[in-house]
Every structure is written in structure tokens, then in C-alpha cells.
């Protein structure tokens, strides 16, 4: 094949799965990768602005992600959290001593009037990240979860209650007023391919797609012949990480790669499923999508780069 190599790829990402895929793509494209991250699970803790999805992507792209915990920084310590607890602070959302520096720097800069986008650039540059990480919007968006006990903040559901309650309904406070930043719009306009991470369709991707300008930017890119590929976060009917499988069922969908494909079908071209789900390929093709069957687990650096390479190769072939 003699296709032009991809130079500009945009990834839409939530937390861990998005971060791992981004790490793999960065290994191929370096600064050619722009990651648009969900900010719907951002929160204030102890008066500090915490952006969990952004920071997971940041630390992973910097090679500082904690592989053992699956979140936070490698070699993290928690002396501060113990002291905060002594002051009666709730510490179920544990902030590590090093991680805290990110929130302190971010909070000060935002209070001084800097845009979250500019703060993200500073953080990424400081940690030597080649790719660009863009918050989906400058507007505050806060995902809320309705359970049988009423509406919960996202992290109350996700971290404090360990995603145990059944999800009955979702809403995204502030999303109706949120607009894409000029940087996100420019990235989509320059994209040669768009890759959608194996992130939770409702908790991570829906808020990104709901930001005014992002879905329009994706549609405009497709109209130019730019392929959009999404990777299933459901393998063998189960979420690789997190509660996506259960939420799919709760909200009336099928907990399978096919169920996810049906949700994304209107705005993507290629759906990537794991080899264990190969039997679902015909049904997904019937949705009008191309299907790539591949090993999609990204449990090592090598697997991240391999999965990313496979997806990049497939979208390159789809470019018009």
C-alpha cells in the first residue's frame, strides 16, 4: 500500500481506555496526535479543580501512569490524604501527593484567569508529552447519575459507590451551553482521521459529542472523506474496565460490541471489535459500518502500540 502516512489524528477519549489508546497512537504519530478529553467528570475536591480524565491521559502519555493501581501516578504516596483525613476532610476520592501538584497548579492558573486549554498545554509540556491534550470545552460540564436513591455527582457514583448502583438516567449539567474551543475545532478541521477510544459511550463519549461544534466538526470531517473509527470497549459482552456493560443494559441497550456499534453507527465509518467477538462482524456490517477484527486488549506498552497501529492502518486505507 502506498497511502500517504497520517500526520494529524484526533482521538476522542475518556479515562483509562482512552489514555491507553492515546499512548499507543502517540508511539506512532507523536505530536501528530490530538486527544480531545471528556471534562464531564471534573470535580472540585478540597477547593481544588480535579480533571480525572484529562489527568489520566496526561500521566499515561507522559509514561507516568500507575500500572498497578490502574489510576494515578507511578510511585504515588498518600501522606497528604492521611493528614486531610485528620482535618475531617472526606478522602474517598484520594489524591496522591504528586497528583495533588497537578490540581494545585491547575487551580491557581484557572483562578488567575487562564483557560483550561492553556493550563493543559502547560501541564503536558512540563511532563514532556508529545501529543496535545485538549479539554473538550472551556464550559463547566458535570455529569450526573440518577440511581434508585436519586441524582448523584459522577464521582460519588463512580469512586465512592464503586459504580454499584443501577444507572437509571444520565444528565450532563452545563452541556447545553458548552461550546467547542477554537483549538478543538481547528484540530477536527485539520484531522486526517478521527479515532474514538474504547471509552464508556454514556459517561465519556456522550458529553464530548454533546459539546456544540464537536459533532458538527466530525460530520464535516467525514464529508471531506476523513474516516472515523471507534473501538469497542465491550469484549465478550463485558466492559474491559468500568460499568459500561451494566449501564448499556440499564439504559435499554445490548451489552455487547454490537450494542455499542448501534449507538455509534450514525457518525462513524469503522468499528473495531476484539477477535473474541468476530461472530458479531456480520451484524455490525449490516449497520453500514466497516468492521476490523483485531486483538484490542491494551495491557502492555507493546499491545497499546500494536492496537493503535492496526487501527491507524485501517483508517489510512479508508481515507478518500
Report, in Å, the least distance between residue 157 CB and a second copy. 23
Residues 38, 204 contacting (CB under 8 angstroms): yes
Q: Does 317 participate in binding a second copy (rule CB under 8 A)? A: no
3-state helix, strand, coil in the chain (%, to 5): 45, 20, 35
The interface region with a second copy, picked from 96-104, 242-250, 292-300, 308-316 by CB under 8 A, is 96-104
Site string for a second copy, 60-89 (x = CB under 8 A): ----------------xx-xx-xxx-xxxx
Taking the complex as a whole, the smallest distance from the CB of residue 155 to a second copy amounts, in Å, to 17
Kindly state the smallest distance separating residue 95's Cβ from a second copy, in Å: 9
Strands across the sheet containing 33-37: 132-135, 33-37, 9-13, 193-196, 228-231, 270-274, 290-294
Residues near 82 by Cβ (< 8 Å), separated by ≥ 6?
none
Answer yes or no whether residue 43 interacts with a second copy by CB under 8 A. no
Least CB distance from residue 142 to a second copy, whole Å? 19
- Helix (H) / strand (E) containing 253: none
Q: How far apart are the first and last CA of the chain?
A: 14
- Provide the pairing of β-strand 142-147 with 169-173: antiparallel
Nearer to a second copy, 124 or 201 (CB): 124
Closest distance of CB 92 from a second copy, Å: 16
Site residues (vs a second copy, CB under 8 A): 46-48, 76-77, 79-80, 82-84, 86-89, 96-102, 104-105, 107-108, 111-112, 122-123, 126-127
Amino acid at each position: 500500500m502506498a497511502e500517504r502516512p497520517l500526520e494529524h489524528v484526533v482521538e476522542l477519549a475518556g479515562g483509562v481506555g482512552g489514555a491507553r489508546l492515546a499512548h499507543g497512537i502517540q508511539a506512532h504519530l507523536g505530536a501528530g496526535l490530538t486527544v480531545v478529553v471528556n471534562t464531564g467528570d471534573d470535580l472540585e475536591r478540597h477547593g481544588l479543580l480535579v480533571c480525572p480524565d484529562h489527568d489520566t491521559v496526561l500521566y499515561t502519555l507522559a509514561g507516568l501512569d500507575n500500572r498497578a493501581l490502574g489510576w494515578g501516578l507511578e510511585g504515588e504516596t498518600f501522606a497528604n490524604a492521611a493528614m486531610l483525613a485528620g482535618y475531617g476532610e472526606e478522602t474517598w476520592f484520594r489524591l496522591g501527593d504528586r497528583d495533588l501538584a497537578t490540581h494545585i497548579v491547575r487551580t491557581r492558573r484557572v483562578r488567575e484567569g487562564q483557560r483550561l486549554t492553556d493550563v493543559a498545554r502547560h501541564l503536558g509540556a512540563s511532563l514532556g508529552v508529545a501529543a496535545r491534550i485538549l479539554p473538550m470545552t472551556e464550559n463547566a460540564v458535570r455529569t450526573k447519575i440518577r440511581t434508585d436513591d436519586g441524582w448523584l455527582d459522577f464521582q460519588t457514583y463512580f469512586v465512592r459507590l464503586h459504580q454499584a448502583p443501577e444507572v437509571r438516567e444520565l444528565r450532563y449539567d452545563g452541556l447545553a451551553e458548552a461550546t467547542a474551543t477554537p483549538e478543538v475545532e481547528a484540530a477536527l478541521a485539520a484531522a486526517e482521521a478521527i479515532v474514538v477510544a474504547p471509552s464508556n459511550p454514556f459517561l465519556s463519549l456522550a458529553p464530548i459529542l454533546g459539546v456544540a461544534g464537536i459533532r458538527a466538526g466530525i460530520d464535516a470531517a467525514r464529508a471531506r472523506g476523513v474516516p472515523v473509527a471507534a473501538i469497542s470497549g465491550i469484549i465478550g459482552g463485558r466492559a474491559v474496565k468500568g460499568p459500561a456493560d451494566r449501564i448499556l443494559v440499564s439504559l435499554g441497550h445490548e451489552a455487547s460490541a454490537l450494542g455499542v456499534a448501534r449507538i455509534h453507527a450514525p457518525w462513524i465509518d469503522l468499528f473495531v471489535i476484539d477477535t473474541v467477538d468476530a461472530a458479531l462482524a456480520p451484524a455490525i456490517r449490516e449497520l453500514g459500518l466497516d468492521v476490523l477484527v483485531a486483538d484490542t486488549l491494551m495491557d502492555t506498552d507493546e499491545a497499546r502500540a500494536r492496537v493503535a497501529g492496526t487501527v491507524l492502518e485501517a483508517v489510512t486505507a479508508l481515507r478518500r
